[in-house]
Structure 1
Amino acid sequence: MSDKIKFEIEFVIQASPQLLYQYISTPSGLSEWYADNVNSRSELFTFIWDGSEENAKMLKKKSDEFVKFSWEENDDDSFFEIRIIVDEITKDVSLFITDFADEDEVDEAKMLWENQVSDLKQVLGSK
Structure 2
Amino acid sequence: MEDKIKYEMEFPIHASPSLLYQYISTPSGLSEWYADNVNSRGELFTFIWEGSEEQAKLVSKKSDERVKFRWAEEEGTPYYFEIRIQVDDITKDVSIMITDFAEDEDEVEEGKMLWENMISDLKQVLGSV
One-letter amino acid of the counterpart of residue 25, structure 1: S
**Aligned residue number for residue 67 of structure 2:** 67
**Aligned residue number for residue 21 of structure 1:** 21
Pair 1:115-2:125 in alignment: no
Q: Percent identity?
A: 75
Q: Number of aligned pairs?
A: 127
Query: Which runs of 4 or more aligned residues in structure 1 lie more than 2 Å from their structure 2 counterparts after TM superposition?
Result: none
C-alpha separation between the residues in 1 aligned to 2:116 and 2:52?
21
Pair 1:98-2:90 in alignment: no
C-alpha separation between the residues in 2 aligned to 1:2 and 1:53?
24
**Aligned residue number for residue 38 of structure 2:** 38
Q: Please give the secondary structure, in 2, of the residue aligned with 1:73.
A: helix
Q: Please give the secondary structure, in 2, of the residue aligned with 1:89.
A: coil
- Deviation of the 1:54 alpha carbon: 0.2
Q: Please give the secondary structure, in 2, of the residue aligned with 1:117.
A: helix
C-alpha separation between the residues in 2 aligned to 1:55 and 1:112?
18
**Aligned residue number for residue 86 of structure 1:** 87
Note the residue ranges of structure 2 that are not aligned, 5 or more in a row: none
TM-score, structure 2 length as denominator? 0.96
Q: Please give the secondary structure, in 2, of the residue aligned with 1:60.
A: strand
- Deviation of the 1:74 alpha carbon: 1.3
TM-score, structure 1 length as denominator? 0.98
Q: Deviations over 1:4-43 (max 9, x none)?
A: 1000000000000000000000000000000000000000
Q: Please give the secondary structure, in 2, of the residue aligned with 1:3.
A: coil
**Aligned residue number for residue 127 of structure 2:** 125
